[in-house]
Amino acid sequence: MNINATLISQALIFAVFVYICYKYIWPPILSTMEERENKMAAGLEAAKQADDSLEEAKLTYEKELKEAKEEAANIVEKANNRSSQILNDAKVKAEAEAEKIIESGSKKLENEANKTREELKQQLSSIVVETASKIIDEEIDEKKHENIIKKAAEEI
Amino acid sequence: MAKELTSKSYIDHHLTNLTCGKTESVGWTCDHNYYDEMGFMAFHVDSITISILLGVAFVALFKLIKLNPADQKPTRMQNFVEMCVEFVNENIKSIFGSTDNKLIGPLALTVLIWVFFMNLMDLIPVDFLPELTKQVSYASGIVDDPNDAYFKFVPTTDPNITLGMALGVFILTIFYSIKIKGFGGFIAELTLHPFGKFAIPFNFALEIMQLLAKPLSLGLRLFGNLYAGEMIFILIALLMFFQSAVFGVLGLGLHLLWALFHILVVSLQAFIFMVLTILYLSMAHETGDH
């Protein structure tokens, strides 16, 4: 257990191993670690940014959704208004049309009735004349008694 | 012929290194009988071999793992290795503040892992490797008596190993002191504190002691802790001399307890060695007054 040349040898061996570590072991490990550290920092930064933009997108999305809903409600309301208006218009139009039809029908009917009445009047006058001439057995001048016949026909 | 196995010879055997050295009488030899003749020109082959093997293990562990590039999931071993590097870096940061010294990181990492591995050898049961080398070298005819085959397999229980590493740190300390403060600054630091220029010899005596005490305490602290731990393992193993089942079980339990506790010592001492290495180097970088 004396101190001897072992001490010097060990100091040299020590130096050799420290040199090997200094030259070949330490740098690659450290550079890998540093590189990863940088990458992770960048990744974290990117994640934070993504988070922020997600938040922003969420806000935009909510805003736009709200707007769209409002618009849709507007459109529905407008459509409702418009449809009721159209309905109203159609109703009014139809009523007018119906009235018109009824009016023209009743007019036609009246005309027809008048015409018939006129015809009947004429026929009746000739029947009356014929009947009367038969009764009095005497020719009556139609022209002379036109007034009387007309009066009679009007009284019918 | 085999010597009689006594508790003294058992302990002695465990505390003796496999030593090769140069002698006057027979030249280069690994025979322990010539140990005293070797003097300084002697090498503890076991300590050196194991420490080199463990150093290679450290390099292999940290170099051969697959490092996935930064945009991929790191492998498991990569996580472990990066954890070690991170740990070392954090310690450097807390002691140094910020530094552009490129050597301190690799130095501290080497110290931490290598010393930890060397300390870890202490947890291999005390008789495994010595018995193995005994039988192998006896069977292969290297030694005539198996008890002449020594093998001490915990490098950090050898003061040469710990002080050798401390010497390396010491040289670096002086190198950086001179590099940062200049030679004049280094000398001034040694001579002008703490009592100013009228007490230069006294200052120098104080400061040189302080300077030399650092590597000495650094190496001896590690050695002392591990040597003591190893010693206790050996002493617990001595219970087998009682040849009784009760003591055998007792020894087993004590071994387990001490090994569990020793895990703490093993890692703590590696950590302390690293922290002190960083600390001494950071002191070498300090330029202000004490």
Express each pLDDT in B147-185 by its tens digit. 778 888 889 999 999 999 999 999 999 999 998 888 888
Residue B98, CB-side half-sphere exposure with 13 Å CA sphere: 0
In whole angstroms, what is the distance from residue B125 CA to residue B244 CA?
A: 20
pLDDT band at B1 (very low <50, low <70, confident <90, very high): very low
Distance between first and last Cα of chain B: 63
The distance of A41 to chain B (nearest Cα, Å) reads 12
Contacts of B102 in chain A (CB under 8 A): 22
> Residue A139: pLDDT above 80?
no
The mean pLDDT of chain B is 87
Whether B67 and A29 lie within 8 Å, measured CB to CB: yes
DSSP 8-state assignment for residue B39: T
pLDDT of residue B229: 92
CA dihedral sign of residues B110, B113, B114, B116: positive
Catalytic residue, candidates B101, B137, B221, B267: B221
Residue A56 token pair: 């922003």
In whole angstroms, what is the distance from residue A68 CA to residue A90 CA?
A: 32
Residue B60 token pair: 């292999």
The distance of A50 to chain B (nearest Cα, Å) reads 19
pLDDT of residue A27: 92
> Residue A129: pLDDT above 90?
no
Q: pLDDT digit string (tens) for B78-115?
A: 889 999 999 999 999 998 887 778 899 999 999 999 99
A17 and B114 in contact (C-beta within 8 Å)? Answer: yes
pLDDT of residue A138: 61
Q: Provide the 10 A C-beta neighbour count for residue B111.
A: 26
Confirm whether B76 is a catalytic residue. no
Confirm or reject contact between B69 and chain A (CB < 8 A): yes
pLDDT of residue B8: 82
Q: What percent of chain B has pLDDT over 70?
A: 98
Higher-pLDDT residue of A155 and A63 is A63
> Residue A35: pLDDT above 70?
yes
Task: Please tell me the total number of residues recorded for chain A in this structure.
Answer: 156
Higher-pLDDT residue of B285 and A47 is A47
Q: Provide the 10 A C-beta neighbour count for residue B229.
A: 23
Q: Where are the domains of chain B?
A: 7-285
Residue A117 token pair: 């009445």
Nearest residue to B59 (alpha-carbon basis) of A15, A10, A17, A30 = A17
Phi, psi (5° rounding) for residue B42?
-135, 145
Describe chain B by its helix, strand, coil percentages, rounded to 5.
75, 5, 25
A61-84 mean pLDDT: 95
Confirm or reject contact between B218 and chain A (CB < 8 A): no
pLDDT of residue B3: 57
| Full 3-state SS string of B185-239 | HHHHHHHCCCCCHHHHHHHHHHHHHHHHHHHHHHHHHHHHHHHHHHHHHHHHHHH
Highest mean pLDDT among A35-39, A96-100, B6-10: A96-100
A140-148 mean pLDDT: 70
